[in-house]
Structure 1
Amino acid sequence: MVAQILRLRLELLWGALRAPGALVPRLAGSLVVIAAVVLACAGILGLVADEPDVAAALLTLTGTALVLGFALSPVMSGAEDPLDPRRFAVLGLEARQLIGPLALASLVSVPTLALIAVDVCAAVTWTRIGVPPALAIAAAIVHVATCLGLARLSAAFGTHVLRGRRTRELTSLFVLGIIVVVLPVVVFFSSLEWGGHVPSRLQAVIDGLAVTPLGAAAGMPGAVVFAWPRAGVVVAVALLTLAAVGAAWAWSVQRAMTTIEPPVDDRDRGGLGWFAVTPATPAGAIAARSIVYWFGDARYLMNLAIIPVVGLLPVVPLLVAGVPGTIAALVPVPIMALFLGWVAHNDVAYDSSAVWMHVTAGVSGLADRVGRLVPVLLVGIPTLAVAIPVAASFHGRWALVPAFLGVAAALFLGGLGLSSVASVVAPYAVSRPGDSPFRQPQRTGSGGVIAQAAVMFGTLVIAAPTLWLAWRALTEDVRLATAAQWAGLGTGVGVLLLGVAAGAVLWDRRSYRVMEFAAAT
């Protein structure tokens, strides 16, 4: 059975090369992968010239990145899985007969061969810096098996869970998530000073990664030989992760061979855009419509585009006035978080007459409130995730990152909670769809000014305890940064939940008044 499936796998690869117009691109891609592997292997083997702790740290980080890459790439690529168990249903085989052969057949691919080559070089390097060969080889086997198992699960998830939803919008979400992770990491590494040894901040990160399923297999040799903290936990996590991945793969094959899902007509969903990505619920539909508006309407885009400008603008006069750059670097993040939470305080008014769809369809207030928050969260979370490490890098004290996080959470989430109430209670007239975002209608009352000021001032009041703790962490005891983090997260999440709940109740009671306001403006 194994030989038959391996032969089918090789024939599929050869058939893909013989496809019209596919030979040159696939060969070019293979050459790029080979060149990357050669460079990676040369770099890994060259680590033997460094100090053992430096080599161990870099090998652990490289292995963790490979695990993460194999876990995400099948979902992000959107390609059809050639080893989908359902493809072998015509052979009349049971699920248990396919679990092992399909796992072995996954070894026959260019990425897998590249992974094996890198792990072989890593095992050689581990051996040269003092790791017993048996342990280095065992760690390499566990690492390769973990990567391939996660890739198989990722492919199954993309095939059976995301089927019919593979749109460019979904890919953009994955890319956005990678940016959120990669950019802060790059900023963090660029701020490190090695000096021939592993910086203490980086060693703390490695110790944390080594006890996670992503980094346990890669960090197992270093944890055992160099006596890292919780070495036994690292080994246990690596083995338990591999066992869990194997069990999940067996369950996935069993499910694929014993369940029949209704077919999905891609033509019915191909042009739905964000509606094909969000759940088929009232909140999901409102979220999709809100995303389309926020990223396609000049009025929304202008509100978003001005936030980074507002955050960075105060830095210039501070520097001119002689404020040290390390202190001025602390200013943009709180300002941007404040305005990101405040920007949604009048989002209902931007709907204009389209708000009647929500009212006539009987959409619940909770679905309306939750759906409208999605685009702001999609913008705010990545923006702050990148801004916080950049600010910490310019400031020079990474120990204050928890305080940054707490302040940003209190201002951003707290502002969203108050905005969820204000947009129902006190909407005010804005420029109509198609008008210039700089053209504002005349208003007869002061409701708009009061609503804007109330949300902004209320957000500052809510975040005051967190701001106080963050200030004390900056000026007195940096250990208070952790207290500021939890205070900010607790305050922000609590106010957000209460604001959404209150806004939902108010929407259910005032929805027709909101529609009357939209029709009148």
Structure 2
Amino acid sequence: MVAVVLRLKLTLVLNRFRRSVWQTVGFVLAALYALMVVGLVAAGSVGLSFVDADRARDVLVVGGAVAVVGWWLLPLLSFGLDATLDPRRFQLYAIRRRDLVVGLALAGLIGVPGIATLLAALSTSLAWWDAPLALLAGVVGAVVGVAMCAVGSRTLAAVVAPLIEWRRFREIATVLVIVPLVMLGPLLGRQIDRLGELDSWLPRLADVLSWTPFGAPWSLGGDVAEGEWMLAGARLLVSLAAVGLLLVAWDSALARTLVRPPSRGPVARGEGYGWFDRLPATRTGAIAARCLTYWQRDPRYAGSVAFLPFLPIPFLVLGGFEGNTSLLWLAPIIAYTLGFAISADLAYDSTAFWLHLSAGVRGVTDRWGRVLSASVLAVPMIVLFAIGAVWATGEWATLVAVLGASAGVLMVTLGASSVLSARYLYPVQKPGEGVFSQPQGSTTAILVAQTVGVLVVGVLCLPTLAAFIVVLVSGALWATVLTVALGVSTGVAVLIIGVRKGGEIVDRRGPEILQQIDAWA
């Protein structure tokens, strides 16, 4: 049965090549990138063989622990990412849980990330190529470490599966994951200066991690190289015991999953029709109300704005408050982010787009409704961030320029998105899936669409942003007037033209758009 599960997983992976050329291209690019990472790890491991055994061990323990933590956090980052490993798909089949556990654990390694992790882990043993026993211990540690990655990831996925079905938990988890990701860059930037102080903190950190499931497997080679056989045996026991406990926890969680009916969590109840009661009873108002309902309840939309309240953190970490004029760019960045968020609105509608076609909604009406929904969210946030940034920096004279530049960026981005969402469709997460899930074959298409959008918006906003930079540098009044004039005039023109052109595309290609969306459903 384990072989059957593995064969099914491998067949599903290979079948992706038959769906589209883009999926093949995306897989090849991912494989090349993974091969490059494996090569770097192998080269680095060989380089470690020429330094002290203590230093080599410390580096491998910390690096391996980071890899294990990354695998364990994968379920929170990618709920709904790989439905082929969902144990609920096996509920109707008489499969022993032991076989299912082993099969799912091994199947999780089939694919570019799993194979790359396995090869990179095995290559770390090259740090002990000149000591045969240490090399063998390094290989054993790498195998146990990869098992820790795969089993820990699936165990955590099984444990949090009942919570992931609850939409509010997915939204909270998204925020909890995004905040550290937003902070990661600035924190790493602040720690670069401490790289020369490795001797002061790396050994202590490695010593602690080497007694945890995260770092114990990666310490075996170094312990054997130093002749610490007792330590190597103790840490091997820690590693094997951790894998055993994870398997027991996974088996217990799997037992509940296979007999428990699916749940969607608590159902919210309320009176009235929400946004439909607040907006005009017109076709444009109805579309805007429906889109705003998506923004409020759909985790895919929530993920687009969950990180915005934390966006100032990197700017503050790097530059502080006083004299940090980079904060004045927050409002334009928010404007671009929320304006570009509707560039995939039609794809997010999924097959519900048929309602627009059957009701005979004009394309321009559809475009204006989506623009209105994004504006309801964007305008208050832009004003709030603009005032907050000006207050933090004390540059009150730039407030008008910040608002003018932000308004221009917002309208230009909304106009461009109105065309892009109708002309350049690409697969997106299906309704109910998480924001981090990645549809098959969408990587290259998303990259192309977003690159086109960034270039178009950048070119159209260039005059406004150039004038805004002059304001920040010189504070000249004429530059403020020019920024507002260029922002408003360019923004209004691009917004009107973009909505009309996008509406024409929807009117002309409506059935084709629905057919394309239906193929992804």
TM normalised by structure 1 equals: 0.49
